Amino acid sequence: MHVLITGGAGFIGSHIAAYHQAKGDLVHIVDDLSTGSLQNITLLLNEPNVRFHEADILVWPELERAAAWADRIYHMAAVVGMRRVLAEPTKTLAINIAGCERLLRAVRAGGWHPRIIIASTSEVYGAGDHAVYKHEHFEEDADLIFHSGFNSRQNYALSKFVDEALALSYAHMHGFQVTLTRFFNTIGPRQTGRYGMVVPRFVEQAVDGAPITVYGDGKQTRSFIDVRDTVRALDLLAGLPATAGEVVNVGNDREISILELAELVRDRAGSRSPIQFVSYEDAYGAGFEDCRRRRPVLDKLRSLTHMSFQWTLEDTIDELIAAARRKREEEAA
């Protein structure tokens, strides 16, 4: 099978690439390295069934040829991370929407019908008082509510919702075999805390003995899925004809508060780091709204794929702590 991965040097994209390389598929990774990293795919670059292009899919001239070559496409390229989304609101909209639309046009021009997975986000369900989960309907067919006026965090959700609408429209008009996956807090090896990701930030702070910074009161809850379970879910969804044209939540429905998460990381690391509360205003600036609960409804994922999770939250945290300690030892040496 020929697999094209846009954003393939990013956190999730690099794991998708490694998964398909190990299966013997021919893998084509495209990434402009704006948030992805060559370090994420270093071990893959010498493999005969992997090729890499450092390119921006907004202007990359080979996109149509790559799309026509692929049997399966994972579109992962996007502006991601809360800090970057808040700092670059116009770029978030422009890159996320234009990149997805150009990929879909390239597939159309190629006259070929690959299986397409489009990465969306749980952010489309909203934040603050507008969060869908306030009414306990974090389901794929829930009506979505967006603010009027400017909201830089919302730009990410809007861009991804437009990507969903574009993909479903191409599917309706041109028979594309596309599945939209709404990701919920994916964590695991190679994820960085640089752009606001909470688990790697907590792990780094605990290993360093630094204060573990919890934003808000820490009572907000999230659900975390290991990236390797995410990749398995995507492969299962892509392999099923019944998922074409569907929007599917991809996550783990175990719920934990952020304060409990900080305590769990600290305990697993055997750290004495104090827990320090930081206001949302100090962390992100004035006007930031958070979602109090974010736990996916997974009925559709389970009914379609029958998958079970192989990684617990504790498993992933232990691996991340061990990796962080190895990194500190290497730096010290």
Q: Supply the residues annotated as catalytic.
A: 156
What lies within 8 Å, CB to CB, of 295 at 6+ separation is 133, 138, 184, 221, 222, 223, 253, 255
CA atoms of 53 and 44, how far apart (whole Å): 13
